[in-house]
Structure 1
């Protein structure tokens, strides 16, 4: 079963979340959270930090990631680990895989015409909102 991760990266004020506009399929042209594939033999948290750095130039020193939930897709034979973190200080983001931008949290992240993930982004944001006090964010 192939593993993936998705990373919910909040700015220092917790009023914006890092998004990417997908440049290729699946979900080409839609906004998504950053993340990627967990390589064979790789620990999930290590993969999350690696993907975060590769896609955004945000390092392990800039943020602490918390593993908050998983999704298992048995028909597609894959699972997704979800991590969340708040930047410790303002950083410059850069990456060439997708177009990166900060989104305010007033958007309708359940809008499938704008956001990838079949509504999962909205669900994940709502879960974090309900659990912020437990996450040291």
Structure 2
């Protein structure tokens, strides 16, 4: 079963969430969280920090990630680990895999015409709201 991760990166002031606009399928043109594959022999947390660095330039020194939840997709033979953290300082994000941008949190993240993941992003944000200490 192949493992993947998604990483919820909140701005230092907790007012925005780092998103990417997908440039390729799946979900081409939709907004998504950053993330990628968990490589063989790599822990989920190691993979999350690696993917975050590769896709955004955000390093371990910039953020502390917390393992929030997992999704297992038995029919697709994969699982997704979800990590969340808040930047501990202002960081200029940069990446060339997808178009990165900061989203305000007052959007409808359940809108599947705008956001990837069949409503999962909205669900993940609701879970963070239930555990605000994750962003302290």
Relative to the length of structure 2, the TM-score reads 0.98
**Total equivalences in the alignment:** 136
C-alpha displacement of 1:131: 0.7
Could you list the runs of 4 or more consecutive aligned residues of structure 1 that deviate by over 4 angstroms after TM superposition? none
Structure 2 portions without partners, runs of 5+: none
Superposed CA offset, 1:67-105 (max 9, x none): 010000001000000000000000000000000000000
Q: Which runs of 5+ in 1 are unaligned?
A: none
Q: 1:43 — aligned with what?
A: 43
For residues 62 and 135 of structure 2, what CA distance do their matches in structure 1 show? 15
Equivalent in the alignment of 1:56? 56
Report the RMSD for the aligned CA atoms in angstroms: 0.7
Instruction: Work out whether residues 17 and 102 of structure 2, in 8 Å CA contact, stay in contact via their aligned partners in 1.
Output: yes
Equivalent residue, structure 1, for 2:8: 8
Query: In 1, distance between residues paired with 2:13 and 2:130?
Result: 17
Secondary structure of the 2:106 match is: coil
Q: TM-score, normalised by structure 1?
A: 0.98
Q: Secondary structure of 2:131's partner? A: helix
